[in-house]
Amino acid sequence: MQLSRFNGRACAAVVFLCAALGACALRPTLQDNPTLATLYAQDQADRRGVVAWTAETDARDADRRRQVREMLSAGTVRTAADHYHAAMVLQHGDTPADYHRAHELASTAERMGSAPARWLSAATLDRWLLSQGQPQRYGTQFTDVGGRWYLEPMDTLAVTDAERRRAGARTLDEIRAFLREKNGTAEVSLAPRPEPEPREGPAVELVDGLDALAARIVVPAAARAARVDGRVRVQLTVLPDGTVGEAVLVEGLGHGVDEEALRVVREARFINHVGEPHEIRIAIPITASAL
């Protein structure tokens, strides 16, 4: 009788173990989201060897962020790699909300075991703090002004060097070494860039003036036939060297005039008095009498 009870308990244990093993075997292994991996690869490719940011790269960035938000809403961001890839795309946004969401995603990826997410978690926190008017903590954010590098405002006492090292960020001495190498100077300061002195007159000046710029426009035949009249308004970024970075149409006239105006504007040269990227708008006159 005792042997029978023992056998019964043993059989029950075996049945329970088999059921548990069967449940484990049926539980699917989460796979990394391949679309997110592609978006991440595209995000990184757009940032290799960049000389000037354009409206096209801005548009690609915005579209990638849109797709990431849709995947987050759909619940298809599941693995550590997914969270890391989503965080990297969103942190290249331009709003505090993007930076904060990216920080949450990177922190989740770190908790799930992603080693690269440690640095991204620190960097996105720094970005979010700076966007709120607060100093960064880990020292991941720098500014290049006319070829000279500065550390963005930083609270050097907010975390320790040991905490920075654990996050994959530079220690204070390593930040100084980085600035020495970038600027080619023996002495460095962790102070942020100085505020530019106020000056009278425009920040940038169009070489040869607006009339000369308008004269370089080759009016398309379709615009001549339609006797187009008005102004093409373009928003552009003047880079520190006076060349044009991004240029986008604000208000156009159609008939091929808009494309021609953008071509001429992108070839324009400016005197950049402030020595840093500056955003301006230009209204180029197109009149029937000139056609």
* Secondary structure of residue 258 in the 3-state scheme: helix
Residue 58 identity (one-letter amino acid): D
| pLDDT confidence of residue 15 | 45
- The conformation of residue 143, written as its DSSP 8-state character, comes to E
Query: The tokens of 103 are what?
Result: 């920080």
| pLDDT confidence of residue 291 | 39
| pLDDT confidence of residue 60 | 92
| pLDDT confidence of residue 230 | 86
| pLDDT confidence of residue 38 | 97
| pLDDT confidence of residue 231 | 86
Low-confidence residues of the chain, pLDDT below 50? 1-3, 6, 10-11, 13-21, 23-25, 288-291
Contact 156, 190 (CB under 8 A): yes
Looking at the structure, give the CATH architecture of the domain made up of residues 204-290: 2-Layer Sandwich (3.30)
Contact 275, 145 (CB under 8 A): yes
Contacts of 221 (CB under 8 A, 6+ apart): none
62 vs 141: CA distance, rounded Å? 22
Contact 79, 33 (CB under 8 A): yes
